[in-house]
């Protein structure tokens, strides 16, 4: 089951799963849409709504792998930005994956443990991207704690960190970007290898290595 599976990285994950033999993939979006492939079951999902998440869990009760991919990037500087944008950012990027994890944990347990894959960002570790980066840092912590809580039911919990991916979310940024297909393949490679963390590109590997150094060096510049 892939949240945000209609476009961008989510759509690439759906494609990659099918290419590797998945018999059924649930793909969600905020509004209804159609996918003509018989293996793809589309569903509406609003991750800010516990009721919407619960309804999806009823539909996708046979899911064995859950990808928390849905996210938002809203303009929200911490001191001067719109507080409502910051609140929505956290509601979607942090509490959304938590709602999905809580709803699907019993389903994964019933399906021999399965796997939960959460999308983070290299900005989880870099200051300077306002509420978005703060939300991704919180999501990283959330994933690490969920890994411990889900261990007794043998659920593999994978945290994915990536730099800029060529999707609508960062279309306006003039920076080197990986393709969604490249990142999707690396995510599935890590999942199949039994990894608990996927560093999906070179910039993410470099930033992760810098975490042991001075915190002042962990800053993101929108100008590159």
3-state helix, strand, coil in the chain (%, to 5): 50, 15, 35
Give the separation between CA 66 and CA 116, rounded to whole angstroms: 5
What are 47-71's pLDDT values in tens digits?
Answer: 999 999 999 999 999 999 999 999 9
Describe the crossing of helices 130-150 and 83-90 by its angle, rounded to 10 degrees: 20
The string of DSSP codes covering 132-200 is HHHHHHHHHHHHHHHHHHHGGGT-EEEEEE---BSSGGGTT--S--B-HHHHHHHHHHHHHHT-SEEE-
CATH number of the domain residue 81 falls in: 3.40.50.720
Quick check: is 54 in a domain? yes
Kindly give the confidence (pLDDT) of every residue in the chain, 224 residues in length, as a single tens digit, with 9 standing for 90 and above: 999 999 999 999 999 999 999 999 999 999 999 999 999 999 999 999 999 999 999 999 999 999 999 999 998 899 999 999 999 999 999 999 999 999 999 999 999 999 999 999 999 999 989 999 999 999 999 999 999 999 999 999 999 999 888 766 555 556 667 899 999 999 999 999 999 999 999 999 999 999 988 777 677 654 34
Quick check: is 1 in a domain? no
Quick check: is 2 in a domain? no
Number of domains in the chain: 1
Number of DSSP helices (H) and strands (E) in the chain, helices first:
7, 6
pTM listed for this prediction: 0.92
In angstroms and rounded to an integer, the radius of gyration of the C-alpha atoms of the chain is 17
Quick check: is 72 in a domain? yes
Quick check: is 160 in a domain? yes
Quick check: is 163 in a domain? yes
The contacts of residue 141 (CB under 8 Å, 6+ apart) are none
Q: Which residue range is the domain that position 199 belongs to? A: 8-217
Asked if 144 contacts 185 with a C-beta cutoff of 8 angstroms, the reply is no
Quick check: is 222 in a domain? no
């Amino acid at each position: 089951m892939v949240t945000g599976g209609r476009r961008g990285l989510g759509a690439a994950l759906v494609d990659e799963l099918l290419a590797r033999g998945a018999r059924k993939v649930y793909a969600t979006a905020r509004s209804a849409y159609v996918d003509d492939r018989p293996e793809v079951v589309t569903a509406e999902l609003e991750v800010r709504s516990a009721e919407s998440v619960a309804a999806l869990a009823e539909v996708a009760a046979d899911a064995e792998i859950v990808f928390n991919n849905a996210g938002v990037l809203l303009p929200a500087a911490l001191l001067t930005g719109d507080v409502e944008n910051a609140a929505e950012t956290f509601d979607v990027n942090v509490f959304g994956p938590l709602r999905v994890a809580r709803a699907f944990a019993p389903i994964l347990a019933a399906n021999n443990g399965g796997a939960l894959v959460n999308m983070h960002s290299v900005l989880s570790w870099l200051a300077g991207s306002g509420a978005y980066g703060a939300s991704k840092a919180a999501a990283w912590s959330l994933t690490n704690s969920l890994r411990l809580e889900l261990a007794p039911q043998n659920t593999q919990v994978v945290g994915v960190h990536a730099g800029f991916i060529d999707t609508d979310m960062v279309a306006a940024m003039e920076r080197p970007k990986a393709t969604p297909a490249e990142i999707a393949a690396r995510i599935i490679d890590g999942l199949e290898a039994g990894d608990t963390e996927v560093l999906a590109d070179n910039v993410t590997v470099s930033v992760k290595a810098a975490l042991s150094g001075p915190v002042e060096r962990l800053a993101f510049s929108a100008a590159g």
